Amino acid sequence: MHRRWILSALTFLLSMVLTACSTATIQQPQTQIPTTNDLVKKPAQRVVALSSLSADIIHQLDKTKLVGITGSKLFKDNPSFKNIPRVSEGQSPPNLEKIVALKPDLVIGAEGFSTQPIQKLKQLGINTFLTQVNSWESLEKLTQKLADLIDADPQPLLNRYKSFLLDKPTQSLSTLVLVSRQPILAPNKNSWAGDLLEKFQAKNLVAELQEKSPIGGYVTLSAEKVLAANPEILIVVNNTDPQLLDSLKKETFWQQLQATKNNRVYSFDYYGLVNPGSIDAIEKACQQLQQALSTSKVN
């Protein structure tokens, strides 16, 4: 029962991407352009964003157009979003009445997580747009598309993205990212995390493995496979399970890994590496990857 609960909770977390979102039903190819429903014929003036990433992108492009957002913890202590109405809180679905009351001319949702409320809003005659971000290219295309929908200039934001990738490691180190223990899950190349590893020239040891898990873009590994992979760099994502790192240390393979022996084990946030989350979260993940793949300091 405990194993099922962990898997269920992890599946839900991983499916919440908003744009950028890495969802449980990620479609290929990974550079897929976000799908659209009824796009507005004229620039949108009142936008409600049901994912944290799309909300952040709209806010960066033109904050005057953003009239409603999801209640993400990423915005909790951000004064820039303090006075923008929340249309959802925690894991609860968006409140359709709140959304309609805001009189939006465009509602942006995340493929998979927001599909049902978006369909209902579309039936009410509200223009909608579904996003899906599982690669760097899809992030850039989403930014360009959202800028087009609200008649804003995307170039400053695109230039900021490029700045995140300027300082890349000069070496390619074998790397493994673990997001859970029961089962042991790791991102392959068909995920946001996998694509980000490639951008920083990390040799993702499971990049080419086929998906054998209920979560698109992730593969299930046995303890034996982790030991056989024996990564130089090991990244543990603690947000899905705050005790993940401690529990992994109890595995018989842990002390045998070269990453453990050489103090190259790093703890990363869920937002930024697994779920893009926000622009600041992406920037932080990029900075951490650069440091992890260039130094031998333990985080």
What structural domains and CATH numbers belong to the chain? 47-164 (3.40.50.1980), 174-292 (3.40.50.1980)
Express each pLDDT in 80-107 by its tens digit: 999 999 998 877 889 999 999 999 999 9
Average pLDDT over residues 221-229: 94
User: H or E element: which one contains 96?
Assistant: helix 96-101
Q: Which SS3 state, helix, strand or coil, does residue 128 take?
A: strand
Answer for the pair 69, 291: CB distance below 8 angstroms, yes or no: no
Look at residues 192, 217, 214 and name the one whose alpha carbon lies nearest to residue 206: 217
Q: Is the pLDDT of residue 250 over 70?
A: yes
Q: How far apart are the first and last CA of the chain?
A: 32
Cα separation, 133 vs 181, whole angstroms: 25
Cα separation, 168 vs 22, whole angstroms: 24
What radius of gyration, in Å, describes the C-alpha atoms of the chain?
19
pLDDT mean across residues, the chain: 85
Q: Computed from CA positions of residues 171, 280, 205, 226, in that sequence, does the dihedral angle turn out positive or negative?
A: positive
* Whether the predicted model's global pTM rises above the 0.75 cut: yes
Express each pLDDT in 18-27 by its tens digit: 333 333 333 3
* Chain CA centroid to CA 273, Å: 6
Average pLDDT over residues 148-176: 93
